[in-house]
Amino acid sequence: ASGQATFWQGFSEPNSGTDLLSLQTEAVRDGDDYVINGHKIWNSHAGISNYGLVIARTNSNVPRHQGLSMLVVTSDTPGLDIRPIRSLTGGIYHYEVFIENVRVQKDYLLGTEDEGFIQLLGGLDTDRFWGRFYKAPYLRRLLNQLVDYANTTQRNGRLLAHDPIVRQKLAGFATEIEALRMMFYRNGRLIKEGLPTPYESALNKLYADETGQQLTAFGMELLGMYGPVKAGSRWAKLHGAMSHAYQTSIGHTIAGGTSEVLRTTVATRGLGLPRDKRS
């Protein structure tokens, strides 16, 4: 792949996240075009991607899980207003997209009309896998930075590396990260061989993101008052990497399915527990 075509995902809306089937964005057929109206939010990289993959309702006369379609929208189409959302770190990674009478040719329908939700579910599992495949080596790099810090930093007259609690914690994270790496290798093998992964990707994403939150929270504790100091300050330790990692880790257990939703997948598909009764 040359990497010239980049996409943002236009699924979530201000009132539709986990319950995506309640989305309000509509696409109405008009001659050879679809005309889309709606409002998307949290669209990662929308401001720097060429195309959006927008999911919209094309049919209201069928059950909720039917009647949604996926449309490819060029990011500079008139009527598309892509506005940045500033993140906790101060950076901009996510956007809010207002869609007003946006016209796309019918050829820009991805897959089959009214089957967009089924298509989305088909890609969700591998999306969760690939979206977190980087996590074990990334966490290992952060852990290595903390080990170096403990080996070179004195507190109350002794090296942090001699503190038994610090040593136990660092060793514990090393164990978890190694287990995480193996879990992703196994998940990757199942996907490569075309075998079913009814709950594995959900379980692995959950473990990856919660381990990331725990490691970075411990990192902030270890750095003490230097923890929150951002990159660029002369007081920043580890070039501000821990503060940045800690703040971004918070959204990771929300994006691509919240921890609660992933636990439900593990409970029902992995453990065979009954589904929740919806009130």
Ligand X SMILES: Cc1cc2nc3c(=O)[nH]c(=O)nc-3n(C[C@H](O)[C@H](O)[C@H](O)COP(=O)(O)OP(=O)(O)OC[C@H]3O[C@@H](n4cnc5c(N)ncnc54)[C@H](O)[C@@H]3O)c2cc1C
Which residues contribute to the site for ligand X (CB under 6 A)?
9-12, 17-18, 42-44, 94, 251, 254-255, 258, 260-261, 264
* Residue 231 Cβ vs ligand X, minimum distance, rounded to whole Å: 20
Q: Closest separation between CB of residue 258 and ligand X, Å?
A: 3
* C-alpha span between 237 and 153 (Å, rounded): 11
Exposed, middle or buried, 46 (CB in 10 Å: 0-12/13-18/19+)? buried
CB atoms closer than 10 angstroms to residue 107: 8
Query: In angstroms, what CA-CA distances link 198 with 96, 126, 202?
Result: 32, 11, 8
Q: Is the CB of 37 or the CB of 44 nearer to ligand X?
A: 44
Using the minimum distance from each CB to ligand X, give the nearer residue, 28 or 88.
88
CA separation, residue 95 to residues 65, 104, 127, 197, 208 (Å):
26, 21, 20, 31, 25
Of 214 and 264, the one with the shorter C-beta distance to ligand X is: 264
Contacts of residue 152, defined as CB under 8 A and 6 or more positions apart, other chains included, come to 159
Q: Least distance to ligand X from the beta carbon of 156, Å?
A: 38
Nearest approach, Cβ of residue 141 and ligand X (Å):
20
Token pair belonging to 276 = 């929740």
Question: For residue 94, how many other CB atoms are within 10 A of its CB?
Answer: 20
For residue 88, give Cα distances in angstroms to 60, 162, 205, 228, 232.
38, 34, 22, 12, 16
Decide whether 91 or 198 has the Cβ nearer to ligand X.
91
- 39 vs 237 by CB, closer to ligand X: 39
Shortest CB 3 distance to ligand X, Å: 18
Taking the complex as a whole, the smallest distance from the CB of residue 225 to ligand X amounts, in Å, to 27
Q: Which is nearer to ligand X, 111 or 224 (CB)?
A: 111
Residue whose CB is nearest to ligand X in the complex, by number: 17
